[in-house]
């Protein structure tokens, strides 16, 4: 099973990706996490990638597509993978087709924009693993610290109102049109109400994957 999670920034893709990975044994590939790792690395690309992340714009396709296609060739993807944050525009969607990477299921996490700000402002993340919490809706066991490693949680620098606005406009202009692209393909496309509490969204996703 190869699966794509589509949805607005803050819809809950990263949160649900963790459950899907655990329950179904799929490799969990987050291009946002990949890019944050590059931005913290010593590589030549680091500062370039950092500038896209902090402005809320997409990292150019020529940087991200090859990295993603290579990642999917790795052994842990042979039993299936889930993509969180890819594709983000038509060219990325077509790049998967061109690389003969087949997709079985697209889960669209649907949520209204009004809910996004509160989700993002309360988000805390464990940078190394990408695990994501919310101070009210999905708190860690010990406030401010990751459940698994006990390391400190941080607030993402792109979770500030100005950058969130930019990320939403990028979503509407570039990513939302992919919904039609995938609805018209020969694959399973399922819309999930992502405004519900985390566990109810997880249940809906489990059912969709198992059906």
Q: Which of 3, 6, 29, 35 binds ligand AP5 (CB under 6 A)?
A: 35
- Asked if 156 is an active-site residue, the reply is yes
Q: How far is CA 147 from CA 108, 133, 152, 159, 201, in A?
A: 28, 10, 10, 21, 21
- If DSSP states are collapsed to H, E and C, what string results for 52-82? HHHHCCCCCHHHHHHHHHHHHCCHHHCCCEE
Catalytic annotation present for 36: no
Question: Angle at Cα 124 formed by Cα 24 and Cα 33, nearest 5°?
Answer: 55
Provide, rounded to whole angstroms, the least separation between the CB of residue 145 and ligand AP5: 15
Cα dist from 55 to 101, 119, 181, whole Å: 30, 19, 27
Q: Is 21 in the site for ligand AP5 (CB under 6 A)?
A: no
CB of 166 vs ligand AP5, minimal distance in Å: 8
93 lies in the site for ligand AP5, by CB under 6 A: no
Q: Which of 20, 29, 178, 201 binds ligand AP5 (CB under 6 A)?
A: 201
Longest dimension (CA), the chain: 45
Could you identify the residue written with the tokens 């999917």?
72
* Segment 157 to 176, residues that bind ligand AP5, using CB under 6 A: 167
Q: Which is nearer to ligand AP5, 2 or 132 (CB)?
A: 132
Residue of 26, 27, 53, 82 interacting with ligand AP5 (CB under 6 A)? 53
Q: Taking a C-beta distance cutoff of 8 angstroms, is the pair 76, 29 a contact?
A: no
For residue 11, with 0-12 CB atoms within 10 Å meaning exposed, 13-18 middle and 19 or more buried, which class applies? buried
**Of residues 36, 88, 119, 131, which has the active-site annotation?**
88
**Of 26, 38, 59, 209, which lies in the binding site for ligand AP5, with binding defined by CB under 6 A?**
59
> What secondary structure, in 3-state letters, does 165-191 show?
HHHHHHHHHHHCCHHHHHHCCCCEEEE
Q: What is the x/- site pattern for ligand AP5, positions 112-151, by CB under 6 A?
A: -------x--xx--------xxx--xx-------------
Give me the residues that bind ligand AP5 (CB under 6 A), please: 7, 9-15, 31-32, 35, 52-53, 56-59, 64, 85-86, 88, 92, 119, 122-123, 132-134, 137-138, 167, 196-198, 201
Q: What residues are labeled active site?
A: 13, 88, 123, 156, 167
């Amino acid at each position: 099973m190869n699966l794509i999670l589509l949805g607005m920034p803050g819809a809950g893709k990263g949160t649900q990706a963790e459950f899907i990975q655990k329950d179904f044994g799929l490799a969990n590939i987050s291009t946002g996490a990949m890019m944050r790792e590059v931005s913290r690395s010593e590589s030549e690309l680091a500062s370039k990638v950092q500038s896209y992340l902090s402005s809320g714009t997409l990292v150019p396709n020529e940087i991200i597509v090859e990295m993603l296609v290579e990642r999917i060739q790795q052994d842990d993807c042979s039993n299936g993978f889930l993509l969180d944050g890819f594709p983000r525009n038509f060219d990325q969607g077509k790049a998967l087709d061109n690389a003969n990477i087949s997709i079985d299921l697209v889960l669209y996490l649907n949520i209204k924009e009004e809910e996004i700000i509160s989700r993002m402002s309360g988000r805390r993340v464990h940078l190394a693993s990408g695990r994501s919490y919310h101070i009210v809706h999905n708190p860690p066991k010990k406030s401010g610290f990751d459940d698994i490693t006990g390391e400190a949680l941080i607030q993402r620098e792109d979770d500030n109102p100005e950058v969130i606005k930019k990320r939403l406009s990028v979503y509407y202009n570039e990513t939302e049109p992919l919904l039609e692209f995938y609805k018209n393909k020969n694959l399973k496309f399922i819309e999930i109400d992502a405004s519900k509490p985390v566990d109810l969204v997880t249940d809906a996703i489990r059912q969709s994957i198992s059906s």
